[in-house]
Amino acid sequence: MTETLAIGPFSPPEREALTAQFGCTLLAGPGDLARLSEDARAAIRAVAYKGHHPFGAAQMDMLPGLGIVANFGVGYDAIDVAAASERGVKVTNTPDVLNDDVADIAVALLLMTGRRMVQASDWARSGNWAERGEFPLNRKVSGGKAGILGLGRIGREIADRLAAFKMDIHYWARSEKDTPGWTYHDDPVALAEAVDYLIVALVGGPDTAGMVSRQVIRALGPRGILVNISRGSVVDEEALLHALESGVLAGAGLDVFLNEPKINPRFYALDTVTVQPHQGSGTVETRAAMAKLQRDNIAAFLSGGPLLTAVN
Ligand code: 8YV
């Protein structure tokens, strides 16, 4: 009986690799666990997990022999790590291999929103350029003040890129880092007040829920642009929508939302918002590296070796 279970929306190459290496059983989501027989569930030692549906105590208790949940993604907020630790279950994630792609998308969202690139593209495609003339002037992004909320591995990659855009770098993190020339703020509101652009690179989960609050958004102000590549949960989305609709905030570039993929349709009505379908890590190269790291963690666990990227 198979000892590895793959749960989630894995792509065909990801599924093939998992099946070839572990002969695993595939489930579309955690809701399908109940479809397995009790014997099949009892045989499972490892879960390869992908997606953003919660995987917590109830699911773990359906798999009494479970030893590891290997997550496909650096963010593991879908997995109840405390429940896993209580049951002696290890959790792993896929850090670092996606830093470049996610940072690239953050910078692109900033430029697309500040320079109104989607609207400019429509201007050319629609014939307006030929019929009505030049696209209206927009705003200079290079040389501005950028605030990074969360200076972890991805936040640093974003800051390094924006420094190359001659930006003045400010940041908030739980503790001050050794970053000569960058300005530390011990409060997200103070950070937002100091900058024109706020780029959110926090980890998701209960500790950061709503950290981009109404106050933070107000402090960023009517010239401010918010970029979020982390999790929708870190932003007070209702406050963000209200600020965008009323001009309290200039714009937003968003790769992540509450209730993905069914995002609030009010975002689509806003000309000042650039929307991406949570594709920060979505390149062939990076997804292959994430998938390999997930499999390597499972292989290490099954052979009794040290885990590569353990979370607990
Ligand atoms: C997802 C992500 O893992 O790494 C993360 O935390 O959000 C993404 O890379 C990916 O969309 C698969 O669910």
DSSP characters for 47-113?
EEE-SSS-B-HHHHHT-TT--EEEESSS--TTB-HHHHHHTT-EEE---STTHHHHHHHHHHHHHHH
From ligand 1's centre to the CA of 102, what distance in Å?
A: 10
Locus of tokens 């714009």: 251
**pLDDT for 183 beyond 90:** yes
For 32-56, write each residue's pLDDT tens digit.
999 999 999 999 999 999 999 999 9
Q: Are strands 90-92 and 68-71 parallel, antiparallel or unpaired?
A: parallel
256 lines ligand 1 (CB under 6 A): no
Same domain flag for 264 and 195:
yes
CA distance 101 to 283: 7
Annotated catalytic residue 170: no
From ligand 1's centre to the CA of 134, what distance in Å?
A: 39
Annotated catalytic residue 185: no
Asked if residue 311 is part of any domain, the answer here is: no
205 lines ligand 1 (CB under 6 A): no
Asked if residue 128 is part of any domain, the answer here is: yes
Asked if residue 308 is part of any domain, the answer here is: no
Predicted local distance difference test score (pLDDT) of residue 195: 98
CA separation, residue 10 to residues 13, 19, 55, 203, 288 (Å):
8, 11, 16, 22, 11
51 lines ligand 1 (CB under 6 A): yes
Same domain flag for 146 and 133:
yes
Same domain flag for 40 and 29:
yes
Reduced to 3 states (helix: H, G, I; strand: E, B; else coil), residue 6 is strand
Same domain flag for 21 and 132:
no
From ligand 1's centre to the CA of 246, what distance in Å?
A: 32
Locus of tokens 């599924």: 15
Same domain flag for 253 and 299:
no
Same domain flag for 114 and 248:
yes
For 71-115, write each residue's pLDDT tens digit.
999 999 999 999 999 999 999 999 999 999 999 999 999 999 999
Same domain flag for 131 and 252:
yes
84 phi/psi in degrees, rounded to 5: -65, -50
Predicted local distance difference test score (pLDDT) of residue 84: 98
Q: What single-letter amino acid sits at 50?
A: K
- The most distant pair of C-alpha atoms in the chain lies apart, rounded to whole Å, by 70
The number of CA neighbours under 13 Å toward the Cβ of 63 is 29
**pLDDT for 182 beyond 90:** yes
Asked if residue 124 is part of any domain, the answer here is: yes
Asked if residue 309 is part of any domain, the answer here is: no
Predicted local distance difference test score (pLDDT) of residue 10: 98
Predicted local distance difference test score (pLDDT) of residue 240: 99
226 lines ligand 1 (CB under 6 A): no
Asked if residue 136 is part of any domain, the answer here is: yes
Same domain flag for 53 and 133:
no
Question: In the chain, count of helices (H) and strands (E)?
Answer: 12, 12
Q: Which residue's CA is minimally distant from atom 8 of ligand 1?
A: 73
CA separation, residue 111 to residues 261, 272, 297 (Å):
24, 12, 37
Predicted local distance difference test score (pLDDT) of residue 207: 95
309 lines ligand 1 (CB under 6 A): no
Asked if residue 268 is part of any domain, the answer here is: yes
Total domains, the chain: 2
For residue 82, the enclosing domain spans 4-97+284-303
**pLDDT for 141 beyond 80:** yes
Same domain flag for 240 and 293:
no
Contact 60, 66 (CB under 8 A): yes
CA separation, residue 77 to residues 40, 80, 180, 206, 221 (Å):
27, 7, 32, 8, 30
DSSP structural state of residue 222: T
Q: Which two tokens stand for residue 26?
A: 């595939």
Predicted local distance difference test score (pLDDT) of residue 242: 98
Mean pLDDT for the chain overall: 98
53 phi/psi in degrees, rounded to 5: -75, 140
Contact 193, 172 (CB under 8 A): no
Q: Which of 231, 237, 287, 295 is catalytic?
A: 231
For 150-167, write each residue's pLDDT tens digit.
999 999 999 999 999 999
Same domain flag for 114 and 200:
yes
The mean pLDDT of 189-193, rounded to a whole number, is 98
pTM of the model: 0.97
Same domain flag for 103 and 90:
no
Q: CATH number of the domain that 185 lies in?
A: 3.40.50.720
From ligand 1's centre to the CA of 259, what distance in Å?
A: 15
Q: Which residues pair with 251 in a beta bridge?
A: 225
Residues 6+ apart with CB under 8 A from 284: none
The mean pLDDT of 272-290, rounded to a whole number, is 98
The mean pLDDT of 241-250, rounded to a whole number, is 98
**pLDDT for 1 beyond 80:** no
CA separation, residue 121 to residues 124, 128, 274, 279, 298 (Å):
5, 10, 13, 20, 45
Same domain flag for 106 and 253:
yes
CA separation, residue 59 to residues 34, 49, 51, 79, 219 (Å):
9, 12, 15, 10, 41
Asked if residue 163 is part of any domain, the answer here is: yes
**pLDDT for 6 beyond 80:** yes
